[in-house]
Chains A and B, each alone.
Chain A
Amino acid sequence: MKRLLLSVLMVGLLAACGTTPKEKEGAAVEDRKPGTGEMVDRPGVKPAEGQPLKDKPFAGGPLTDPNNILSKRSIYFDFDSNLVKDEFKPIVSAHARYLQQNGGAKMRIEGNADERGSREYNLALGQRRADAVRQMMQLLGARSTQIETVSFGEEKPQAMGHDEAAWAENRRADIVYQGERGLPRDL
């Protein structure tokens, strides 16, 4: 809930910021669409008075900056699969790069499975998903000692329904960095 409020607040701030640049002459500021959360190139804008809030770096750091791909923590899987699909590779490689650049950083990858079938077998399936993500990160430069993989199996579902939509959301690996409590939701 807090995360939702924070994101709403951010969207509100960004929307407010979006109007200010027109008042400033000479500054090459791109139009920005409020609420998209994209990284925006801002050449030539000086961080002086009257500058919009958008120039202030996000206080939480890149890992929780909703503008940063590193805030995306979930990789979703197909049924009975632990293959990391192409659409999630950018997320995995961004985190791998972060680990490579921050040798002291540690993460835990939590694997999950949908509710169908044996609990212990599902625990092992979730584990396999977490391991698949770690393997990819190691190939991209992260050290194995920076990544612990664990599984929740079917025990901590994100979606509480009993249909394919819920099951798809629960076939998932989540990235949690050391020191973080709970799991930030994707925005």
Chain B
Amino acid sequence: MSIDRLHPVLCAVVLLVSLALSPVSRGALTIEIVGSGATQFPIAVVSFRAEEGLSQPLSRIVAADLARSGLFRLIDSGGMNPVPHEPAQLNYEQWRARGADAVVIGSVSRLPDGRYDVRFRLMDAVKQAQLAGYVYYARADNLRLVAHKIADLIYEKLTGETGVFATRITYVVDRGKRFELQVADADGYNSQTILASNEPIISPAWSPDGLQLAYVSFEQRKPIVYLQSLVTGQRRAVARHWGSNSAPAWSPDGKRLAVVLTKDGGSQIYLVNAADGGNVTRLTYTSAIDTEPNFSPDGRHLLFTSDRSGGPQIYRMPVTGGHAERLTFEGTYNVSPRHSPDGKSFTFIQRSGTQFNVAVQDFATRQVQVLTNGGLDESPTFAPNGKLILYATGTRGRGVLSAVSSDGRIKQRLTADAGDVREPAWGPLQK
């Protein structure tokens, strides 16, 4: 039966979204899908009652999310008479005849205070029983988020995996003379400019709670690491030492940042407090380049790139410093490591000849799988469910974002309306 759910949590999310600074805009990224999962679950998503007049077509957003995952085959949901909005109205034989194993139905109604009541049910077409059903209360400007949360619940119920449709991504748009650090929904909609600058911005990194971004800005004519609140828009420089400051990575508890500083000669890895940039602790002591630190999910290790063996390879060291273990041995150029959310593997960029591609290596087996063949791939970032890797690619001068499933089967291409898009980072799950 239906469960009234998540009201206090949704209120917190609603508050968060409404405090974001710049006005929301339409989709700045469009997404196309190439390839599909090994098996696709056939599902129909019927228009919700009374959704036609809304600013956001809820059922279409749900259907698009499910389709974009590559794991669902959307069954034609039109032409039913009557259009079902309640379980009693479902003609299961007709839906089975169309090939659907599940049907999503729902309705929207206006509340006296102006908010919307959105409720949906996920029905098993074979067993003719409800699998899930929830109610949300939300303002008009949060209806897209509600649709994404519905898609997440359907995804989780039918695949057993956590959904990421309600997450956000960040990336940098290069418009030639102007650079914009943007945050958008995972489907490319609602892009907001967090920072606009005449100088480059690189290496954005989400705080674990999703409320701040760390990034490197060249606005002072040298690289400096800033932390900026996504709620208030306020920011502070957290690493502004002599020389260059870059490559920020958050510890899982949000209290420390790993950064690369050149203040002591050469690019080396340090830890600093996220709160005030203080307690600067040096971790690497080589005359090589040590860069691109990335915390393990348990906060105990760092992956990083080092050319101490002659060319850039990926190493792992304890976060307390000490011996670094080399992990990559294929080819002469392996960079940009990022842990998977479950800590069992990492993604990175491997150069083969002149081609740079996204790869994944399993920590236990050391096996490497190359996932892409774009040739100009960089900045891989895992979705928080570990199922997708978002990265920058495209031709030189016309960068686009792409995503590939961690098994390599599903590929998505995200293009911006204008500008050259790069440096993506996938935000955390909203708790």
Contact = CB atoms under 8 A, between A and B. Distances in A.
Given A117-B356, A152-B218, A125 B289 contact: yes
B218 A156 contact: yes
A121 B246 CA distance: 10
A127 interface: yes
Interface in A96-131: 108, 110, 115-121, 123-125, 127-128, 131
Contacts of A124: 260, 267, 289, 291
Contacts of A120: 202-203, 246-247, 260, 291-292, 305, 335-336
B244 interface: yes
Given A118-B349, A155-B218, A162-B397, A149 B291 contact: no
Nearest to B246: A123
Interface in B287-309: 289, 291-292, 305, 307
Interface string A6-50: 000000000000000000000000000000000000000000000
Name the interface size band of chain B. Answer: 35 or more
Nearest to B268: A124
Contact of A150 (B202, B244, B266, B354): B244
Contact of A117 (B244, B265, B333): B333
Contacts of B244: 123, 127, 149-151
A55 interface: no
Contact of A121 (B199, B265, B289): B289
B30 to A, nearest CB: 25
A139 to B, nearest CB: 15
A167 to B, nearest CB: 11
Interface of A is mostly: mixed
A153 B305 CA distance: 16
Contacts of B247: 120, 123
A127 B262 contact: yes
Interface in A151-175: 151-153, 155-156, 160, 162
Interface string A64-98: 00000000000000000000000000000000000
B326 to A, nearest CB: 16
B312 interface: yes
Contacts of B349: 118
A19 B305 CA distance: 62
Contacts of A155: 200, 202, 218
B378 A118 contact: yes
B156 to A, nearest CB: 34
B126 to A, nearest CB: 49
A186 interface: no
Nearest to A163: B396
A150 B218 CA distance: 11
Interface in B240-295: 242-244, 246-247, 260, 262, 265-267, 289, 291-292
A121 B243 contact: no
Contacts of A108: 221-222
Nearest to B392: A119
B243 A148 contact: yes
B218 A118 contact: no
B187 interface: no
B123 to A, nearest CB: 48
Contacts of B356: 116-117
Nearest to A182: B221
Interface string B124-164: 00000000000000000000000000000000000000000
Given A118-B292, A119-B379, A162-B396, A151 B223 contact: yes
Contact of B262 (A117, A119, A149): A149
Contacts of B397: 160, 162
Nearest to A126: B244
B242 A117 contact: no
Contacts of B267: 123-124, 127-128
Contact of A131 (B246, B260, B265): B265
B101 interface: no
B351 interface: yes
Interface of A: 108, 110, 115-121, 123-125, 127-128, 131, 148-153, 155-156, 160, 162
Interface of B: 199-200, 202-203, 218, 221-223, 242-244, 246-247, 260, 262, 265-267, 289, 291-292, 305, 307, 312, 333, 335-336, 349, 351, 354, 356, 378-379, 396-397, 423
Given A118-B292, A120-B247, A123-B247, 16 more contacts: A117-B356, A119-B379, A120-B202, A120-B246, A120-B292, A121-B292, A123-B202, A123-B246, A124-B291, A127-B243, A127-B262, A127-B267, A150-B243, A150-B244, A151-B244, A153-B202
7 contacts: A108-B221, A123-B202, A124-B267, A150-B222, A150-B223, A152-B218, A155-B202
The 4 closest A-B pairs by CB, nearest first: A124-B267, A150-B222, A155-B200, A162-B396
